[in-house]
Amino acid sequence: MATIKIAYASMTDNNKSIADYLSEYFTQKGAIVDVSEIADTDAEDLLDYDIDVIVTYTYYEGEIPDDAEDFFDEIKDLELDGKVYGVAGSGSTDHEHFGRAVDYFDKAMQEAGGKKGSDVVKVDEEPDDTDFEHLKAFADALLEA
């Protein structure tokens, strides 16, 4: 049975909805899921699970959220050694750098030696039914990676 960590950053709950959806879906599929806010998570915790999922908003002009900065920096010191990961997140297409924090985390996890189990998923503001379909495919790809 796969163990999965979902670490998320969210101010107005769009990314919390994504994390909650993924948590429910993985649980339905028989995985053991642990969900926490990035601000309360040590990056080293990622080493304890079979699959790591990061869910984040993007802030300022395409930046990592303040509450995710420490966690992001800690990822650089990890040796993920082929561990499967995926990154998703809600941003806003009203901004020039739509969902860029998602790409930053994806790159950091890859550079730390993670195995990308799915393409990233970016959501425009609140997730709708189409987004949930994309998130389901994202979750399935991670389980199969």
Ligand X SMILES: Cc1cc2nc3c(=O)[nH]c(=O)nc-3n(C[C@H](O)[C@H](O)[C@H](O)COP(=O)(O)O)c2cc1C
Q: Which of 92, 128, 133, 137 binds ligand X (CB under 6 A)?
A: 92
Q: What's the Cα-to-Cα distance from 27 to each of 78, 87, 112, 121, 127, rounded to whole Å?
A: 27, 18, 27, 20, 20
Q: Which residue is nearest to ligand X (CB)?
A: 91
> Residue 46, exposed/middle/buried by CB under 10 A (0-12, 13-18, 19+)?
buried
Is residue 129 at the binding interface for ligand X, with CB under 6 A as the rule? no
Q: Which of 58, 72, 87, 105 binds ligand X (CB under 6 A)?
A: 58
Given a contact cutoff of 8 angstroms between Cβ atoms, the answer to whether 77 and 46 are in contact is: no
Shortest spacing between CB 23 and ligand X, in angstroms: 15
Q: Which of 1, 30, 61, 144 binds ligand X (CB under 6 A)?
A: 61
| Maximum distance among all Cα pairs of the chain, rounded to whole angstroms | 41
- 93-112: contacts with ligand X (CB under 6 A): 95, 97-99
Q: Can you give the binding site for ligand X, defined by CB under 6 A?
A: 10-15, 57-62, 90-92, 95, 97-99, 125
